[in-house]
A and B are shown apart, each in its own frame.
Chain A
Amino acid sequence: ILNVEQSPQSLHVQEGDSTNFTCSFPSSNFYALHWYRWETAKSPEALFVMTLNGDEKKKGRISATLNTKEGYSYLYIKGSQPEDSATYLCAFEMYSGGGADGLTFGKGTHLIIQP
């Protein structure tokens, strides 16, 4: 059983503040780490796919870093806006012989931006 953990589970942030949260995953058989932004009754929106140790990706005010040796990734949001309110999911993709072997999701960090 793969253990993908996200923390915190829930986060309240004032509009304009910056924030970050964590995804931890197994450090062996790493293939890729995915971040999704998810508004509940919709399909999650893919933010980043990260494959290399030390990767940093950026999309607007959102960025992510990756450490595959120690098994964690951080997602950062700079200058939070109300539209950033969502659940942020990470998913670990394991290498398995012939290639990737599906996605194991964390439980998500539910972010609420307060005006």
Chain B
Amino acid sequence: GAGVSQSPRYKVTKRGQDVALRCDPISGHVSLYWYRQALGQGPEFLTYFNYEAQQDKSGLPNDRFSAERPEGSISTLTIQRTEQRDSAMYRCASSSLSGANVLTFGAGSRLTVL
């Protein structure tokens, strides 16, 4: 697509429910990154992929968080048994592996856990 697309844009869920957030990167972009951003805070790195391989998941807060990118394109970030502290804007970014490696961000998915 023309840009990085994330869905849903807004998600309100009850504590304890599972949520899945989707990222559709720019066509042909090899690298895909997940960040989250609590209100008023800077972005916090979660994980990233080159193609379908997850390169680094050290930023995932705990084992309730997981991410996959099975075909090297669309990625899903899954949060199991959500807690209120998971409320944040979850942002995805993609880049090619060209020399400039400039990241393009999606608009984000705002998650609110009640």
| Interface positions of A (Cβ within 8 A of B) | 9-10, 34, 36, 40-44, 46, 87, 91, 93, 100, 102-103, 105, 107-108, 110, 112
Contact = CB atoms under 8 A, between A and B. Distances in A.
A46 B43 CA distance: 10
Given A43-B43, A103-B41, A107-B104, 11 more contacts: A40-B33, A41-B48, A41-B56, A43-B44, A43-B45, A43-B59, A87-B103, A93-B40, A103-B42, A105-B43, A110-B100
Contacts of B33: 40-41
B17 interface: no
Nearest to A100: B40
Contacts of B95: 40
B2 interface: no
A58 B3 CA distance: 35
A107 B105 CA distance: 7
B42 A41 contact: no
Chain B contact residues: helix, strand, loop or mixed: strand
A44 B39 contact: no
Interface of B: 31, 33, 35, 37, 39-45, 48, 55-56, 59, 89, 95, 99-105
A83 to B, nearest CB: 17
B102 A87 contact: yes
A43 B45 CA distance: 5
Contacts of B100: 9-10, 110
A102 B44 contact: no
A44 B43 contact: yes
A43 B39 CA distance: 16
Contact of A36 (B40, B42, B48, B103): B42
Contacts of B31: 40
12 contacts: A40-B95, A40-B103, A41-B45, A41-B48, A42-B45, A102-B39, A102-B89, A103-B41, A105-B105, A107-B102, A107-B103, A110-B101
